[in-house]
Copies of this chain bind each other. A is one copy, B any other.
Amino acid sequence: MIVEMRTGAAPEEIDSVVQRAKSLELDVQLNVGTEKTVVAILGSNTGQVSTDMFAVLPGVESVTRIMKPYKLASREVKAEDSLVSINGIEVGGKRIIVMAGPCAVESEEQLMEAARAVKDAKASILRGGAFKPRTSPFSFQGLEKAGLELLAKVKEQFDIPVITEVVDSHYVNMISKVADILQVGSRNMQNFTLLTALGKSKRPVVLKRGFSCTVTEWLTAADYLLAEGNSQVILCERGIRTFEDSTRFSLDISAIPVIKKSSHLPVIVDPSHAAGHYSLVPAIAKAAVAAGADGLLIEVHPNPKEALVDGLQSLTPSNFTKLMEELRLIAKSVGRYI
């Protein structure tokens, strides 16, 4: 941490900064310039100490954090790439993993048709929401437990792993009985009670980025899972909120190389929620693979025109099959496969 003193700060003001650092068992070095004094506070745990602890002291102009606030998710703690294994399917390796299916489980027939489409196109994992966090209380909220039962049934019938969203800490056990991957939605990225419960569960988790959270906050949220001993963490970029209104969200493509540089965790991309329109999904999905994403989470619905939720951003089975073929070519061009 770098504490910049105000021009003309008194010696006792500088001293109080030094004393506070020492009381926190941190190393201190003074930099006395002609105009300003700068106090460098070093040590392995400065990332966990609040900058406010120094910024509130008299004579301090500003405090800048040098250590990142996240720790366990960082490449500095673990240099090699982490792999997450789901029933033998590895996320984070050479193979790019495609998870696909409807936004919401609507009926047995719908889920089975979706599963068939996903299987036929050789994607790896079936997605489908049973519990849906909806903006309005008057919208369809998902089939809930009945939806979970349908997922269990289709999973067995098609022998395909399943990912579904968990919206409350008290559902973790129940959903873990069915789902192979538990998904944390964008609105829950900083629901720390939920993250702690998922950390304890030790099940594979897809942690979607909050639509207004920085990459740093996202990796710090991942620390909640890792700190409980759950290393099965997959990050998922799904678009951030910006002023641009031609898409629902703006997919932050740069987040992929940024994550690869600063973290060991695998990262996948959800092009459907970012785009908000099926016609934009293929271009974004291809970009994600080219940029180095380890997988994709794509909405596919047997009949988007009749979808209860997010029909506009869902691909039809035939469009999905076509996209999978295109993605295979891109994967190959970056030395990977699907």
Contacts and interface: CB of A to CB of B under 8 A. Distances in A.
A146 interface: no
Contact of A334 (B253, B279, B286): B286
Contact of A64 (B33, B66, B257): B66
Nearest to A215: B246
A190 B64 contact: no
Given A66-B2, A136-B220, A254 B56 contact: no
Q: Which of A36, A170, A287 counts the most chain B CB atoms within 10 A?
A: A287
14 contacts: A35-B42, A35-B43, A35-B44, A38-B66, A52-B310, A56-B307, A56-B312, A57-B305, A188-B191, A242-B252, A246-B254, A251-B254, A253-B283, A261-B279
Interface of A: 2, 4, 7, 27, 29, 31-36, 38, 40, 42-44, 48, 50-53, 55-57, 62, 64, 66, 69-71, 76, 133-139, 167-170, 187-188, 190-193, 196, 210-212, 214-217, 220-221, 223-224, 227, 240-247, 250-258, 260-262, 274-275, 279-280, 282-284, 286-292, 304-305, 307, 309-312, 326, 329-330, 332-334
Contacts of A221: 135
A34 B29 contact: no
Given A38-B66, A135-B221, A138-B227, 5 more contacts: A27-B33, A34-B42, A35-B44, A48-B138, A50-B139
A56 B315 CA distance: 11
A200 to B, nearest CB: 12
A212 B214 CA distance: 12
Contact of A258 (B43, B138, B247, B288): B247
A188 B55 CA distance: 28
Nearest to A167: B193
B167 A168 contact: no
Contacts of A36: 42, 66
A68 to B, nearest CB: 10
A222 to B, nearest CB: 10
Nearest to A65: B64
B35 A31 contact: no
A77 B244 CA distance: 23
B289 A290 contact: yes
A328 B125 CA distance: 31
A252 B244 contact: yes
